Amino acid sequence: MTATLTRYFPLLLLAAAWEGLTRAGLVPASALPPLDKVASAWYGLAAGGDLWTNGVSSMTRGAAGLALAIVFGSLIGVLMAWYRPIHVVVNPIVQFFYPMPKSALIPVMVLWLGFGDASKIVLIFVGAMLPVTLSAFNGARGTDQVLIWSARSMGASRFRVLWEVVVPSALPELLSGIRTALALSFVLLVASELIVARSGFGYMIGWLGDGGAYDAMFAVVLTVAFLGFVADRLYLMLMAHILAWRE
């Protein structure tokens, strides 16, 4: 507890500096609302239910897109490593689209799917799928050939080898690919909601900022940033738990 406090003490210092500077009037409140105003604005939004409804709609979109990306990405990646023909066909497409900034797809998703949930879910799905695919492919490709031969020689079917040898040995790399995808899906979610949406955190930030309610805008921005951070930390804990069998 004390160790955590010492470690994160600089953040408290920053918060204190924020409060001090704005209280002393050194920074205009229109540029940086005092921290206590931000906190009370956060409380107002939370009590009014706005934060909750928009948060639920953002998190549902993010979770749906990411879940699809994980399922299809790891499936395609493992199959790419396992079947040569799939690799030949899919790999050039993956390699071509991987470096492409996925946010470029935001306007197309709007053209195709409108302003609602579907455009965000598909955007996150498409954007987050490629890192998952590549990491599953790299992980599965790196499977120790001796392990595959041993399992085969002991009579395991091809499918069993895939499930019990290839997938577990691809897991460490796959899980770190999913971590990238998690971070990316937050970015795509917030970006697409800032640009076009009728609900969600990004929409709230835009709408509060346009209305000049800067203390509330800061409250939502900090909430999203905090959620992204917490999601990453929880995921790291989950990853350590799943990979506990490794030395």
Partner 1 sequence: MTAETPILAPAPAGIRLDRLAAAWGQRAVSALPLIVLVLAWEELARSHILSAFLLPAPSVVLDRVWEDAVSGDLALNLGMTLYRAMAGFAIAAVAGVALGIVMARNAAVRWFFDPIVSVAFPMPKIAFLPIFMLWLGLYDVSKISMVVFNAIFPVITATIAAAEGVDQYFLWSARSLGASERQLLREIVLPAALPQVLTGLQVALPISLIVEIVTEMLMGGTGLGGAMIGASRFADSPGVFAGIVEIAIAGLALVKGIAVIRRHLLVWHQEAEDPTTV
Binding status of residue 11 toward partner 1 by CB under 8 A: yes
> Which residue, chain included where needed, has tokens 């990411």?
66
Q: In the structure encoding, which two tokens stand for residue 88, read together? A: 């030949």
Choosing from 21, 36, 52, 107, the residue that interacts with partner 1 (CB under 8 A) is: 107
> Which residue, chain included where needed, has tokens 């346009």?
210
Binding status of residue 85 toward partner 1 by CB under 8 A: no
Binding status of residue 28 toward partner 1 by CB under 8 A: no
Largest CA distance in the chain: 76
Please say whether the beta carbons of 112 and 169 come within 8 A: no
Instruction: Give the integer Cα–Cα distance in Å for 144 and 151.
Output: 11
Binding status of residue 83 toward partner 1 by CB under 8 A: no
Spatial CA neighbour of 138 closest among 59, 207, 77, 180? 77
Binding status of residue 84 toward partner 1 by CB under 8 A: no
Number of residues that bind partner 1 (CB under 8 A): 64
CB of 121 to partner 1, least distance (A): 17
Burial class (CB in 10 A: 0-12, 13-18, 19+), 95: exposed
Binding status of residue 213 toward partner 1 by CB under 8 A: no
Which residues contact partner 1 (rule: CB under 8 A)? 7-11, 13-14, 31, 88-93, 95-108, 110-112, 131, 134-135, 138, 173, 176-177, 180, 183, 186-187, 189-191, 194-195, 201-202, 205-206, 209, 214, 217-218, 221, 224-226, 228-229, 231-233
